[in-house]
Structure 1
Amino acid sequence: MRKYDLVVIGGGAGGLTAAAGAASMGAKVALIEKEKQPGGDCLHYGCVPSKALIEAAKKIHTARFAADEFGFVLQGELDFPAAIRRVKAAIAHIQKHDDADRFRNMGVDVFQGFGRFKDEHHVEIGHGDVVYGKRIVISTGSRPVIPPIEGLAETGFLTNETVFDLQRLPKRLIVVGAGPIGLELAQSFARFGSQVTVIEYAAGLLGREDQDIVPYIRAALEKELTFLFNAKVHKIEKLVGGEKRVTVLRGDESILLDADEILIATGRRPNTDQLGLENTGVQLDKGYVVVKETLQTTVPHIYAIGDVLRAFPFTHAAGMEGKIVVGNAVFGLRRKVNYEHVPWVTYTDPEIFHLGLTEQEAREKIGVEIRVYKVTLDDVDRFVADREMNGMVKVITDEKGLILGAHTVGKGAGDWMQEIVYAKQSGHKIGNISNVVHPYPTHGAALQRAADQYWRKKLFEGVVPKILKMYIRWFR
């Protein structure tokens, strides 16, 4: 039996970060991954393939829009398998960075198989090897939630783990769930040419987002998608020709929809149910691992990161947690995780950027003593020039100007809003962004315009303007 300073179960973004970091510090590390190659959901089924598909769909959409606007004709039929090949090529390119042999060259012992705890220190790999870990990190990710819908299993369905294997574009696609994954994929397939209907149990879209942002994205998506809100899929039947008939309940109304494919995007669940955690004393809460701020579980030498935690189910958050775990697990540090400055982006078109508190959360937490700065994109020259004016920037601060939250919907928002992440994390006030010289014309000017409002209120409201007028008269 081999013994290790650190055993990492799961080769996704967090697990790879922890394994590489610990090995580089001189620790003896084992990485256990159930798939043939590491990379996790993000590389194989999530971030990378979805963004490759989104970009391919966006190119098709742009070409059609340009043809309508500038009066030329597009000919030929869409080669949908070419888009899927583009997705696979992106995965293959990035896989080189996550390749098992690359980690072996770093000094990590990589085991292919399913890791299961035999006790607090011993992990069995498949039905064979058992390894001992002085410290152990759980990083096994998550998988799609499959709702208990009558006939769903018998008729067949897609998830984010299977949709990228399609070789034929469905003429009619039903997406169950209007979260980020559902919306990103729904819009992409609509742009390829599918007739897409999104069924959502809630009354509206994106409940975690600032409510000033939502109307912009809803208006944009409703031009391309059909939504059924306050609706629930009751049952699914397979028709003679292979099509699927979906019965949807909305209040007292029963709606019948026919589709070629059904995509389930109703959330995710942590991969903890087969880890043998009952043999360890690690506490779970509805399947999620309970951890302290140091990312230690209820068993101090066992840590957990990534989607098995409830907090922030994002790749970049898992990477941050992986870095913290290296210091804590390998060197006994007590570094604490902090999610206050972790942003996220929903990659619809336009994109949605989210950082920190929404206005409602800020008012509930701090009270009325907050400041809100808003700029609509039709007031920003670069967006006007691009003719991409649907969107806004909203920044929430305390009364001193310290950034509490920032929210944006707009073309490429995930890129040009990064400046405020640094500002918030570094403790800068919103006014500091106004003092940064931004090239003209750029999309980032939208954020600068919001920051300019801070100085306008400072200089032109209250007692300051009176003092300035008195000084100017004296100076003359």
Structure 2
Amino acid sequence: MKKYDIVVIGGGAGGLTVAAGAAGLGASVALIEKEKQPGGDCLHYGCVPSKALLQAAKEVYNARKAAKEFGLHLSGDIDFGVAKKRVIDAQKIIEKHDSVERFENMGVDVYHGEGSFITRNEIQIASQHQETMKIWGKRIVIATGSRPSIPAIEGLETVEYITNETIFDLDAAPKRLAVIGGGPIGLEMAQAFSRLGSEVNVFVRSNTILAKEDKELIPVALQELEKEMIFHFQSQVTKVEPIHPSGSIRLHIQYLATDDKNIVKRETTLEVDQLLIAAGRTSNIESLGLEKIGVETQNGHVLVKDTLQTSVSNIFAVGDIIGKYLFTHAAGMEGKAVIANAVFGLRNKAQYDSLPWVTYTDPEIYHLGLTEDEARCKHVDNLEVYKVNVDDVDRFVTDRQSVGILKVITDKKGFILGAHAVGKGASTWMQELVYAKQYKHPIGNVSKVIHPYPTHGAILQRAADQYWRKKLFSGFLPKLAKKYIQWFR
């Protein structure tokens, strides 16, 4: 049985970060990956293909919009094959960074198959292409990711629904698409297919989308999204059935509303050509045999300490399976923390306070830190809120972008508690605030940074300027300055 300093189960963002980092530090490393090509959900079904498709759809949308505005005439049907080829091309380029050859050149032994625990140090690797084998690891890192959650809907097994793992296999944009779920995956794919020619209906069980976002920003984003798709709030798809011979799907929908404290139910049906399930994620932990070795789980996730150590001291877990933040960059950050802990026995903690995330709709929705409601719960009234609309910033005006807002929440001293935005390119220009928050620079410092004119990032300077206006031009300072000026004359 071959022995290793570090065994990593799962070749997604978190697992690859650990494998590369540990190997670079001189540890002997084994990587177990069930797919032929490492890269995880992000490369194969998530970040990479979805953003490639979103960009293709955005170009189609902007071309139509520009043609209409400038009196041009566009004709013809969209070639979905072009959009699909863009997805494949992007994956081929990026997968080189995650290739088996690259990791083998680092000194990592890559095993294809599914890993499961025999003991706290022994891993069994089962593969269809070779005999089952065993390896031994001094430290083991679980990074097996997640998969789409499939809700219990009557008749779902009778139709060919799609998820984020199969949507990119489509050969054409469906004429009528239904999306179950109002989270980032559902919204991004809904908008992409709407722009590629689909009539899109989105079904959301609550009365809003993106429940984790600052509630003041959601109406701004929703105002734009509702121009491109139909939302069904407080709705539930209770049953689906195939329609022969067309191959379309009939949805049975139940709406729940409150009338004088009573729940009122209304039912209807809708026929669509394709159904996308985007109703959350489920951790891939069932086949690991965690119960045999005493690794504790809760609600389908692996329980970890702040150091990402499980209840079994030599075993760590990162990424979606711990159920904290299901983002590629979160898994990468966790992987970096684990490298030091697993290789050198340190006790670095995963830090989530300055972890941002983005919903890549158009406009983009950016989240950093606490929402205003969360901040008020934690800091009572000891906070300040600064807001700037995009149409107050010259570069957005020249780009004819009138919809969007920046909101920054700070304590009384100006240290950032949270920052949120809806707007074109928010994923790029908001990063300055991530740096300021993480390294404890007050918002006022952003005002002192020289921003070239005109840029979208000037919106951050506008917010920071509000801090100084409030600090310098209210209270006793203006009176003191007036007296000083009179004296100085």
Could you say whether these structures have the same fold, taking a TM-score greater than 0.5 normalized by the shorter chain as the test? Answer: yes
- Equivalent of 2:227, from 191, 204, 223? 223
The answer on 1:250 being equivalent to 2:255 is yes
- Equivalent of 2:364, from 351, 355, 367? 351
Structure 1 match to 2:320: 307
- Equivalent of 1:337, from 350, 357, 361? 350
1:320 Cα deviation from its structure 2 partner? 0.7
Structure 2 match to 1:398: 411
Structure 1 window deviating more from structure 2 (308-317 vs 27-36): it is 308-317
Structure 2 match to 1:31: 31
The answer on 1:430 being equivalent to 2:435 is no
Secondary structure at 1:274 match in 2: helix
Structure 2 match to 1:261: 274
- Equivalent of 1:159, from 141, 159, 163? 163
The letter for the 2-side match of 1:106 is: M
Structure 1 match to 2:8: 8
The letter for the 2-side match of 1:248 is: I
Structure 1 segments unaligned to the other structure (5+ residues): none
**Cα distance in 2, alignment partners of residues 461 and 221 from structure 1:** 40
The answer on 1:133 being equivalent to 2:140 is no
Structure 2 match to 1:50: 50
Secondary structure at 1:450 match in 2: helix
- Equivalent of 1:321, from 327, 330, 334? 334
The letter for the 1-side match of 2:163 is: T
1:212 Cα deviation from its structure 2 partner? 1.3
The letter for the 1-side match of 2:268 is: I
**Cα distance in 1, alignment partners of residues 313 and 210 from structure 2:** 36
Show the 5 A alignment for 1:278-317: 278-317=291-330
Offset from partner CA, 1:256-307 (integer Å, 9 cap, x none) = 1111100000000111111110111110011111111111000010000000
Task: Report the TM-score when normalising by structure 1.
Answer: 0.99
Structure 1 match to 2:262: none
Show the 5 A alignment for 1:167-186: 167-186=171-190
Secondary structure at 2:427 match in 1: helix
**Cα distance in 1, alignment partners of residues 488 and 215 from structure 2:** 47
**Cα distance in 2, alignment partners of residues 56 and 397 from structure 1:** 38
Runs (4+) of structure 1 exceeding 2 A deviation are none
**Cα distance in 2, alignment partners of residues 48 and 410 from structure 1:** 21
Structure 1 match to 2:194: 190
1:77 Cα deviation from its structure 2 partner? 1.4
Structure 1 match to 2:83: 83
**Cα distance in 2, alignment partners of residues 206 and 473 from structure 1:** 55
Show the 5 A alignment for 1:454-469: 454-469=467-482
**Cα distance in 2, alignment partners of residues 76 and 246 from structure 1:** 31
Offset from partner CA, 1:167-213 (integer Å, 9 cap, x none) = 01100000000101000000000000100000010111111101111
The answer on 1:206 being equivalent to 2:210 is yes
Offset from partner CA, 1:111-156 (integer Å, 9 cap, x none) = 0001111111111111611110100000000000001111111111
**Cα distance in 2, alignment partners of residues 323 and 161 from structure 1:** 27
Secondary structure at 2:368 match in 1: strand
1:475 Cα deviation from its structure 2 partner? 1.3
1:82 Cα deviation from its structure 2 partner? 1.1
1:471 Cα deviation from its structure 2 partner? 1.0
**Cα distance in 2, alignment partners of residues 249 and 211 from structure 1:** 25
Structure 1 match to 2:261: none
Secondary structure at 2:161 match in 1: coil
**Cα distance in 1, alignment partners of residues 486 and 367 from structure 2:** 45
1:57 Cα deviation from its structure 2 partner? 0.2
Structure 1 window deviating more from structure 2 (120-129 vs 375-384): it is 120-129
Offset from partner CA, 1:26-79 (integer Å, 9 cap, x none) = 100000000001000000000000000000000000000001111100122110
**Cα distance in 2, alignment partners of residues 402 and 310 from structure 1:** 29
Secondary structure at 2:468 match in 1: helix
How many pairs does the alignment contain?
A: 476
1:102 Cα deviation from its structure 2 partner? 0.7
Structure 2 match to 1:409: 422
Structure 2 match to 1:100: 100
The letter for the 1-side match of 2:140 is: I
Secondary structure at 2:306 match in 1: coil
**Cα distance in 2, alignment partners of residues 353 and 378 from structure 1:** 18
The letter for the 2-side match of 1:406 is: A
What percentage of residue pairs aligned between the two structures are identical?
Answer: 60
**Cα distance in 2, alignment partners of residues 69 and 289 from structure 1:** 53
Show the 5 A alignment for 1:448-459: 448-459=461-472
Task: Report the TM-score when normalising by structure 2.
Answer: 0.97
The letter for the 1-side match of 2:61 is: H
Question: What's the RMSD between the two structures over aligned residues?
Answer: 0.7
**Cα distance in 1, alignment partners of residues 231 and 375 from structure 2:** 30
